[in-house]
Structure 1
Amino acid sequence: MTNTTSTTVGFDELLAAARELSLAGRWDRALRLLDATTCATPGDRARLALAAAEVALQSDWFGGTELTADRAEYAGKQSPGTDWDLAFVRLRHEYLRLLRSAGTLRFGPRGKDPEALAGIRRSAHRLHDDASDEVRRGWASMYLGLIADNLFAERTVAPAHYEAALRAGESGGDDLLVREALRHLGDHDHDDGDHDRALERWRRATFLGARAGMVPGVLTQQLLLAVLARDTGDEAGASALAGEIARWAEAIGAEPVHAQATGFLTGTDPTAGPQDSGA
């Protein structure tokens, strides 16, 4: 006689588990979990498809895959009409596309697709205005800053958006939003030569990413700490840290992170190339 065990997992818990797997860099496992789940109601099917699109975006950011477009299209079919969270996935995916097509972090709009650049900025403003709560508005502010910084080369414009995102993340208890804002505010501190302030912000960002279980994001953040070590003359420490980051990134299949770490070991400055933004 065969004994069978039946286990019921709440739908919210299942979605949370998939998102935590995704943050940990287990994108394939997260997608298999979501794809194996059946839903009885259209609302749950829409939430499931949105979660899969969010996992796909994390995979594209940190794993170098190209999964988001199809997942977002499917999620749109499950959730007809306007859905803020799905629109935000699409905004982040478009930002990633434009950032990758640039091949550099601060390239500005010249010689690129002005219509696409204007469109993504309009979309970010619309998401900011339509946000239903402070944290969502903070994430829209974060991307208004990233778009200004990395697509339009408007370095003096971006920090105010990051500060707004930081306030929203802190008041709303969103560690990943706070991490993202600190990461990019620290980048400005670093450029301004304020290494102490950059170190303070980047250390806190690393801590918050770790607390959220964001393994690839912690690795990218540690690489910035390696940059500061090199800047202050600790080349041995910088290289040792980057070597460990490269090994970790290779182990979890985070190829873009691995490429950044190995590039750093050969003298490349990762703050001069595309930075992650996949929270």
Structure 2
Amino acid sequence: MTSAPHAFVDIDELLLAVRELSVTARWEQAARLLGAAATDDPAARARITRAAAEVALDRDWFAGTDTAAERLEAAEKEFPDGDWDTGFLRLRHTYGRLLLVDGTLRIGPDGKDPQALAALLDRARELHDSAPDEVRRGWAAMYRGLITENHFAERATAAGHYTAALRAGEAGADGLLAREALRHLGDHDHDAGDGERAGERWRRATALGARAGTVPGTLSQQLLLAVLARDAGDEAGAVALATEIVRWAGAIGADRLAAQADAFLAGADPTAPGPTDAD
């Protein structure tokens, strides 16, 4: 009986393929590919374990699942002396977990543990200061903004962090980071009544997301374009776009996003500060 043949793949290429699968919402396929990667190299094994945690985090955010905790703990065991990227994954996980109050996404500090929020913001500052490169520093700045805005309701301070994240994303050619920053800066423009500036930023963010391959991220951006259509009085256009977002999001398993688009069809404003304005 002969054993199955082994295929050798460069670890960097493997992880790049996994990341591309994950941003396109192929979370199951990404997880299976990582699970099929066998290695005797401890460093490669650690990176594969960390990548599995990142895939789970991406899935949890858009699909509303809860799959990342165990994988993140496994990744932390692979880096007992600490690791910036694993620490950032933990920050993301804690950020999302603290948004839930009695099972509902909630903006602001009400109903949340103030010590946990302070520790989260401190950790974001530490990751920002210790980032090994400009793009990672930009992602830490992005989460400093998200934490400041969505957990502390300090929007003016958050805008400065988003601006720093945008600069880093543009300088480092990280379309996903630039998209994320433009999304939230555009939200601030929209709330200030500057629909034209919001539209410029949101349309650019949509294009950047599409170029980077993020299917759920592009759909979430299109929901903001539906908001602009409704603002302009084009209700038929807004409904048509949101209906397709529900269809697409449901098809890829992005159930949280589908629910947001459903709520928009029922009259909700996803840009209005409130319990579900978390992305």
- In the TM superposition, residue 7 of structure 1 has moved relative to its aligned partner by 4.8
Partner of 1:158: 158
Partner of 1:146: 146
Deviations 1:201-229 (A, max 9, x none): 00010011111110001010100000111
- In the TM superposition, residue 111 of structure 1 has moved relative to its aligned partner by 3.4
- Cα distance in structure 1, aligned partners of 2:85 and 2:77: 14
Partner of 1:99: 99
1:38 alignment partner, SS class: coil
- Cα distance in structure 1, aligned partners of 2:172 and 2:118: 30
Q: Determine if the alignment matches structure 1 residue 242 to structure 2 residue 245.
A: no
* TM-score, structure 1 as length reference: 0.94
* TM-score, structure 2 as length reference: 0.94
1:271 alignment partner, SS class: coil
Aligned length: 273
Deviations 1:59-85 (A, max 9, x none): 100111111110010011112111000
- Where do 5+ consecutive residues of structure 1 fail to align? none
Q: Percent identity?
A: 63
The one-letter amino acid paired with 2:111 is G
1:53–1:178 distance in 2 versus 1, CA, 3 Å: same
Deviations 1:12-55 (A, max 9, x none): 11111111111010111100110111112111011101111110
- Cα distance in structure 2, aligned partners of 1:200 and 1:216: 20
- Where do 5+ consecutive residues of structure 2 fail to align? none
- Cα distance in structure 2, aligned partners of 1:268 and 1:79: 43
Partner of 2:36: 36
- Cα distance in structure 2, aligned partners of 1:220 and 1:25: 13
Partner of 2:277: 274
- In the TM superposition, residue 168 of structure 1 has moved relative to its aligned partner by 0.7
The one-letter amino acid paired with 2:217 is G
Deviations 1:217-276 (A, max 9, x none): 101010000011101111000000000000000101110011001111010111233343
The one-letter amino acid paired with 1:193 is G
State how 1:187-206 maps to structure 2 within 5 Å. 187-206=187-206
Instruction: Give the conservation status (yes or no) of the 8 Å contact 2:150–2:278.
Output: no
